[in-house]
Amino acid sequence: MNYDVIIVGAGIAGLHAAMHLPKNLSCLVLCKDQPWECNTFYAQGGVATAVDENDIAFHIKDTLEAGATLCDKDAVEVMSSDSIGVIRDLISKGLKFDRENSGELKYTKEGAHTRSRILHAEGDGTGRVIHSFLIAELKHTLFKNALVTDLLIDENRCYGVSVVTKKGEYNLYANNIILASGGIGSIYEYHTNAHTISGEIHGMAIEHGLSMQDMEFVQFHPTVYVQNSWARKLLLSEALRGEGAYIVDSKNRRFLFDYDKRGELAPRDIISRSIFDYKHKSKEEIYLSFEPFEQSFLKKRFPNIYRNLTSIGFDIPKDKIPISPAFHYSMGGIKTDLDGKVDGMKNLYAIGEVASTRVHGANRLASNSLLEGLVFSRRAARRILEDNYTLKQKNFQICQAQLYKEQDKVLKETLRSIMWKHVGVARDIFGLQSALGGVEVMLQTDIGRMFKLRLLTSAEVIKSAISRKESLGSHYIKKIEI
Ligand SMILES: Cc1cc2nc3c(=O)[nH]c(=O)nc-3n(C[C@H](O)[C@H](O)[C@H](O)COP(=O)(O)OP(=O)(O)OC[C@H]3O[C@@H](n4cnc5c(N)ncnc54)[C@H](O)[C@@H]3O)c2cc1C
């Protein structure tokens, strides 16, 4: 089957790219499970945007500061300057963000933003609202439960993808391929991500020798309830702290000010490390306190979080919620230019969390990732239309490898525990080397293809972490006590 464009992934990046590709192009969107099983759907806090032309410079400044010197300034400028246009476009198409009683858009503030500039929808339902809107607007074919198992790459061209669906295994071909497959959450024991987000496409990119960038930079969200039994741990959005929730020890002491004068509104990496360090030294449980809130405010502003916590049995705002940092977001990914075109490739694009434009540098500023998905997807779609590239077709063997093997399940747990223990909030060279050894041993054993791809991605994260000797942003090398 031949298409003009194949898009791998039905989150914000994939669906928004599809929105900007005209109906007369044959365009196919693929996702491996149900379309809502993606990180976009679970996003709570909101979308960052420059509030107006005057705010662009300040949004850029905040993003660069959070990124700890590693951001690409051009990429940040593009993201912030394009933000007003993409948001305006979505609103004009009918997307409904929350508004003040006066009818003005309602902005909230999150950590390390110097002003309120985060738009949200249905309180903490931003991701769900945006995702449902993009699905409703989709004018191209969406193929769900279609697992991509390989990229059909030869030299500097991508000819298509191998997929497995209930009809079996086959190849799909296209003139342009967009990778919008999200991040890598499932390689960590504690994470906030949808179960579909496992870094497999990253693994394929590594196999095919595509350039990867900044994979050592992974963001740990500081306020996650990790004591639930599901793989996806319960995120307690940063917007809660933006609105006044605070972090305390068992004696109700707000210890974060010992570490940074911004307290609860410091960047995520600083808060995560402070909690990690304080917990380690004091051996105390750490909590998120909702004391400043009325119950009615919580129910209205954070309806999903309220429902999730009360269904577990918490009585909020009275109860404090035990929290821990957990893996949340991958800053690195497949290296692209500012139109999402993959480094060195003619017709392959990567957008959203799978990509690395260096827009987030060493640490992502809160709510900049939905924005990144919107801005770079539209740019990629426009570039595809501009290039109007036609590929001389070529046939590839269908991927024959066995996808899953018996011992994958047990080894997956081992991998997740290794990554959490040694490649987590605070790292040291001995831990990283032992993690790499563990991953390399697993790569030599009799494993299925999909698990192998996760291992390749994990190895890339670890190798990048080993080669960056100094702490920077979210990559923190702890001093070894001898
Ligand atoms: C709980 C949570 C809350 C968040 N809150 C915010 C927030 O408030 N603001 C913000 O800016 N960011 C937030 N983020 C981050 C943000 O949601 C993500 O970075 C963003 O949604 C990623 O979008 P994406 O389109 O790149 O990928 P996703 O939305 O994750 O979509 C990935 C898609 O790729 C598909 N896929 C993956 N592998 C394959 C394969 N092998 N074959 C076929 N399909 C495949 C999946 O099925 C899925 O459709 C949050 C993240 C989480 C987890």
- Answer yes or no: is the C-beta of 193 below 6 A from any ligand 1 atom: yes
The answer to whether residues 311 and 344 belong to one domain is: no
Q: Does 296 reside within a domain?
A: yes
Per-residue pLDDT of 69-90, as tens digits, reads 999 999 999 999 999 999 999 9
The answer to whether residues 134 and 70 belong to one domain is: yes
Q: Does 448 reside within a domain?
A: yes
Say how many Å lie between the CA of residue 386 and the centre of ligand 1.
27
Per-residue pLDDT of 44-78, as tens digits, reads 889 999 999 999 999 999 999 999 999 999 999 99
Atom of ligand 1 nearest to the CA of 45: 8
Q: How many CA atoms lie within 13 A of 180 on its CB side?
A: 38
- Answer yes or no: is the C-beta of 10 below 6 A from any ligand 1 atom: yes
Please give the residue range of the domain that contains residue 437: 408-467
Ranges 80-84, 135-139, 241-245, 284-288: which has the least confidence: 241-245
Q: How many CA atoms lie within 13 A of 273 on its CB side?
A: 21
The answer to whether residues 335 and 288 belong to one domain is: no
For the segment 145-154, the average pLDDT, to the nearest whole number, is 98
- The span from the CA of 361 to the CA of 474, in Å, is 10
The answer to whether residues 337 and 224 belong to one domain is: no
Let me know if 259 is exposed, middle or buried by CB neighbors in 10 A (0-12, 13-18, 19+).
Answer: middle
The answer to whether residues 318 and 253 belong to one domain is: yes
Q: What angle do CA 344, 198, 277 make, to 5 degrees?
A: 105
Say how many Å lie between the CA of residue 25 and the centre of ligand 1.
25
Q: Does 180 reside within a domain?
A: no
| 110 has a pLDDT exceeding 90 | no
Say how many Å lie between the CA of residue 40 and the centre of ligand 1.
4
- Answer yes or no: is the C-beta of 15 below 6 A from any ligand 1 atom: no
| 332 has a pLDDT exceeding 90 | yes
Among the candidates 276, 298, 327, a domain finishes at 327
Residue partners of 260: CB distance under 8 A and separation at least 6: 266, 270, 271, 274
Say how many Å lie between the CA of residue 183 and the centre of ligand 1.
7
Predicted pLDDT of residue 400:
86
- Answer yes or no: is the C-beta of 336 below 6 A from any ligand 1 atom: no
Say how many Å lie between the CA of residue 197 and the centre of ligand 1.
7
CATH of the domain at 362: 3.50.50.60
Q: Among residues of the chain, what percentage have pLDDT more than 70?
A: 99
Task: Work out the mean pLDDT of the chain and round it to a whole number.
Answer: 96
Which of 29, 39, 377 to probe ligand 1 with, by most ligand atoms within 8 A of CB?
39
- Answer yes or no: is the C-beta of 44 below 6 A from any ligand 1 atom: yes
Predicted pLDDT of residue 217:
98
The answer to whether residues 360 and 320 belong to one domain is: no
For the segment 410-419, the average pLDDT, to the nearest whole number, is 98
Ranges 66-70, 181-185, 329-333: which has the least confidence: 66-70
For the segment 135-157, the average pLDDT, to the nearest whole number, is 98
The answer to whether residues 428 and 354 belong to one domain is: no
| 114 has a pLDDT exceeding 90 | yes
Q: Does 244 reside within a domain?
A: yes
Predicted pLDDT of residue 467:
97
The answer to whether residues 226 and 345 belong to one domain is: no
- Answer yes or no: is the C-beta of 373 below 6 A from any ligand 1 atom: yes
Say how many Å lie between the CA of residue 248 and the centre of ligand 1.
30
Among the candidates 298, 327, 356, a domain finishes at 327
Atom of ligand 1 nearest to the CA of 367: 11
Predicted pLDDT of residue 230:
85
End-to-end CA distance of the chain: give it in Å, rounded.
Answer: 61
| 482 has a pLDDT exceeding 70 | no
- Answer yes or no: is the C-beta of 330 below 6 A from any ligand 1 atom: no
For the segment 126-136, the average pLDDT, to the nearest whole number, is 98
| 231 has a pLDDT exceeding 90 | no
The answer to whether residues 323 and 352 belong to one domain is: no
CATH of the domain at 257: 3.90.700.10
Predicted pLDDT of residue 238:
85
Atom of ligand 1 nearest to the CA of 235: 1
Residues annotated as part of the active site: 268
How would residue 479 be classed by pLDDT, with cut points 50, 70 and 90? Answer: confident
- Answer yes or no: is the C-beta of 45 below 6 A from any ligand 1 atom: yes
> Domain count of the chain?
3
Among the candidates 327, 352, 373, a domain finishes at 327
Q: Among residues of the chain, what percentage have pLDDT more than 90?
A: 93
Q: Which region, left, alpha or beta, applies to residue 103 given φ > 0 means left and ψ of -120 to 50 means alpha?
A: left
The answer to whether residues 285 and 343 belong to one domain is: no
How would residue 163 be classed by pLDDT, with cut points 50, 70 and 90? Answer: very high
Predicted pLDDT of residue 293:
96
Q: Does 453 reside within a domain?
A: yes
The answer to whether residues 423 and 304 belong to one domain is: no
Q: Does 156 reside within a domain?
A: no
Task: Name the residue at shortest CA distance from atom 4 of ligand 1.
Answer: 43
Q: Does 366 reside within a domain?
A: yes
Predicted pLDDT of residue 242:
86
The widest CA-to-CA distance across the chain, in whole angstroms, is: 68
Q: Does 392 reside within a domain?
A: no
3-class SS letters over the chain: CEEEEEEECCCHHHHHHHHCCCCCCCEEEECCCCCCCCHHHHCCCCEECCCCHHHHHHHHHHHHHHCCCCCCHHHHHHHHHHHHHHHHHHHHHCCCCCECCCCCECEECCCCCCCCCEECCCCCCHHHHHHHHHHHHCCCEEECCCEEEEEEEECCEEEEEEEEECCEEEEEEEEEEEECCCCCHHHCCCECCCCCCCCHHHHHHHHCCCCEECCCCEEEEEEEECCCCCCECEECCHHHHHCCCEEECCCCCCHHHHCCCCHHHCCHHHHHHHHHHHHHHHCCCCEEECCCCCHHHHHHHCHHHHHHHHHHCCCCCCCCEECEEEEEEECCEEEECCCCEECCCCCEEECHHHEECCCCCCCCCCCHHHHHHHHHHHHHHHHHHHHCCCCCCCCCCCCCCCCCCCCHHHHHHHHHHHHHHHCCCCECHHHHHHHHHHHHHHHHCCCCHHHHHHHHHHHHHHHHHHHCCCCECCECECCCCC
For the segment 125-147, the average pLDDT, to the nearest whole number, is 98
The answer to whether residues 12 and 104 belong to one domain is: yes
- Answer yes or no: is the C-beta of 182 below 6 A from any ligand 1 atom: yes
Predicted pLDDT of residue 99:
97
Task: Name the residue at shortest CA distance from atom 31 of ligand 1.
Answer: 11
For the segment 105-120, the average pLDDT, to the nearest whole number, is 93
